[in-house]
């Protein structure tokens, strides 16, 4: 079955620096790759997602890149701020639109 | 517009008991997925309901069952509880034609 590996498990950055979190997936048929942010005691919230037919997507300070050949995707956060501190999860899925079965990584704690 | 809601917030049970967790999706959403999140781990997919039927299932035993009602709300039932079932149970809803899953706040289940 699908497996998603996520690194690093913890990432400490200075305010204003950039942060990069990397994920690798095993199922080459995966077609949807969302990133969720989970603050302590709260629900996961989608921050950005990308489909397999797109190589890069940006939303203000957040960007995601996808390399289908290498089967990895990355989250980039620029100009980090204290409110960016949280656990970030990547996920991969191979479902039909509207019926995604998300397989999550183990999370990265951003400090 | 209310988001995804779940009840109860917390629940304490003993081994062998049965539990029912409830989820109401966002307005306009018709698909509900359930996930189990153990402490310090990412969520794991349990199953997904659409049109009152289980559409997909993850690697969870038959002790885990569910139901979806005509109003799209859903229940997760777990029988013969084990200590290892202690986790945060998350419900996520999706609108037809979209991939975005919106999560509820979760139900924290503790099995003693």
A9-30 per-position pLDDT tens digit: 999 999 999 999 999 999 999 9
Contacts with B101 from chain A: Cβ below 8 Å: 34, 46, 100, 102
Distance from CA of A105 to the nearest CA of B (A): 6
From the number of C-beta atoms within 10 Å of its C-beta (0-12, 13-18, 19+), residue A2 rates as middle
Is the CB of residue A49 less than 8 Å away from at least one CB of chain B?
yes
What is the band of B87 on the pLDDT scale with cuts at 50, 70, 90?
A: very high
Other beta carbons within 10 angstroms of residue A55's beta carbon come to 12
Of B41, B48, B98, the CB nearest to A106: B41
pLDDT, position A41 = 86
pLDDT digits (tens, 9 = 90+) for A60-94: 999 999 999 999 999 999 999 999 999 999 999 98
> Distance between CA B36 and CA A96 in Å, rounded?
22
Hey, CA dihedral for A66, A67, A73, A74, is it positive or negative? negative
Q: Where are the beta strands (DSSP E) in chain A?
A: 4-7, 10-11, 19-25, 32-38, 45-51, 56-59, 62-67, 72-77, 86-92, 103-104, 108-110
- Computed over every residue of chain B, the mean pLDDT equals 95
Q: What is the mean pLDDT of residues A19-45?
A: 94
Longest dimension (CA), chain A: 40
């Amino acid at each position: 079955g699908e497996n998603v590996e996520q690194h690093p498990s913890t990432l400490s950055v200075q305010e204003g620096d950039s942060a990069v979190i990397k994920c690798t997936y095993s199922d080459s048929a995966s077609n949807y790759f969302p990133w969720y942010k989970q603050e302590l005691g709260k629900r996961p919230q989608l921050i950005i997602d990308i489909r397999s037919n797109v190589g890069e997507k940006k939303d203000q300070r957040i960007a995601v890149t996808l390399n289908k050949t290498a089967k990895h995707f990355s989250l980039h956060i620029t100009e980090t701020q204290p409110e960016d501190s949280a656990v970030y999860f990547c996920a991969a899925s191979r479902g039909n639109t509207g019926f995604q079965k998300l397989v999550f990584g183990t999370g990265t704690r951003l400090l | 517009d209310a988001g995804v809601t779940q009840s109860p917030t917390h629940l304490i049970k003993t081994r062998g008991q049965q539990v029912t967790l409830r989820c109401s999706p966002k307005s306009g959403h018709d698909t509900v997925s359930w996930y189990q999140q153990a402490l310090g781990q990412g969520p794991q997919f349990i199953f997904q309901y659409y049109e009152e039927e289980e559409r997909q299932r993850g690697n969870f035993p038959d002790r885990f069952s569910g139901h979806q009602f005509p109003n799209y709300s859903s229940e997760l039932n777990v029988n013969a509880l084990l200590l290892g079932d202690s986790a945060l149970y998350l419900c996520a809803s999706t609108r037809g034609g979209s991939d975005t899953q919106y999560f509820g706040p979760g139900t924290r289940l503790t099995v003693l």
